[in-house]
């Protein structure tokens, strides 16, 4: 089944403790992206990648890092999480005709 | 500054009637537009799209209209069904940066019996 898989689905962590949210796609898509969803703000793009080793900042990149060492994986790294990064995160991949999204990771930073 | 705007946070429509969701954009470079549907606890799913070379695209009960001069698009759902109750996101991109898709804030559609 074609899908985008992100883990974990839920995560509660403390301020400053580094964490990684993993994302993997099995559709051989070139494009991948991370979004966060917040009430009243919709989906805002954090980072995106056009291919292996090619990444760029989206609209809200501060406090996040990404890497694209393999085509199928695009992890999101929070080096020092803060409470304002509490949000619902979505990974997505695309073949240039619109993104396919994962099921989301709800992150709470206390 | 939001480049894609959905000014109606919510919409309630009677089952069987037409639902019309609206979206405005400010960036004239956008040339590809998409609508996504999102249920609670799930990721957004692609619904329908339209290229700027067209002004209308239909897929079953769903039709998207694009008015480039007004920088406005709309999604029509007819007839509306209970399963259409969800949050709908409008999104846009330009061909030179297809991986950078900008989303609106969403409209929550409720279909009442």
pLDDT tens, per residue, chain A with 110 residues: 889 999 999 999 999 999 999 999 999 999 999 999 998 899 999 999 999 999 999 999 999 999 999 999 999 999 999 999 999 999 999 987 789 999 999 999 99
Q: Give the CA count within 13 Å in the CB-facing half-sphere of A84.
A: 5
Please state, in angstroms and as integers, the Cα–Cα distance from residue B103 to each residue in A109, B31, B61, following that order.
25, 14, 23
Per-position b or e across A14-30, b if 16+ CB within 10 A of its CB: eeeeebebebbbeeebb
Residues of A in contact with B41 (CB under 8 A): 103-104
Mind listing the pLDDT tens digit for each residue in B42-56?
999 999 999 999 999
Residues of A in contact with B46 (CB under 8 A): 98-100
Q: A8: cis peptide before it, omega within 30°?
A: yes
Q: Does B42 touch chain A (CB under 8 A)?
A: yes
Label the pairing between strands B107-112 and B10-14.
Answer: parallel
């Amino acid at each position: 089944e074609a899908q985008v898989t992100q883990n974990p689905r839920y995560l509660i962590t403390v301020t400053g403790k580094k964490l990684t949210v993993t994302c993997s796609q099995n559709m051989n898509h070139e494009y991948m992206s991370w979004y966060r969803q917040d009430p009243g703000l919709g989906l805002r793009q954090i980072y995106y990648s056009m291919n292996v080793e090619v990444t760029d900042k989206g609209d809200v990149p501060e406090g996040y890092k990404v890497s694209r060492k393999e085509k199928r994986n695009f992890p999101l790294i929070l080096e020092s999480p803060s409470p304002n990064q509490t949000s619902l995160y979505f990974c997505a991949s695309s073949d240039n005709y619109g993104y396919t999204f994962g099921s989301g990771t709800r992150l709470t930073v206390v | 500054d939001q480049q894609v705007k959905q000014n109606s946070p919510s919409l309630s429509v009677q089952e069987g009637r037409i639902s019309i969701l609206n979206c405005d954009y400010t960036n004239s470079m956008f040339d590809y537009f998409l609508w996504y549907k999102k249920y609670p606890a799930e990721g957004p799913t692609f619904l329908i799209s339209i290229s700027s070379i067209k002004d209308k695209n239909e897929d079953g009960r769903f039709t998207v209209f694009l008015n480039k001069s007004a920088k406005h698009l709309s999604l029509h759902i007819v007839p509306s069904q209970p399963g259409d109750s969800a949050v709908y996101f409008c999104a846009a991109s330009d061909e030179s940066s297809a991986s950078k898709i900008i989303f609106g804030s969403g409209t929550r559609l409720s279909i009442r019996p």
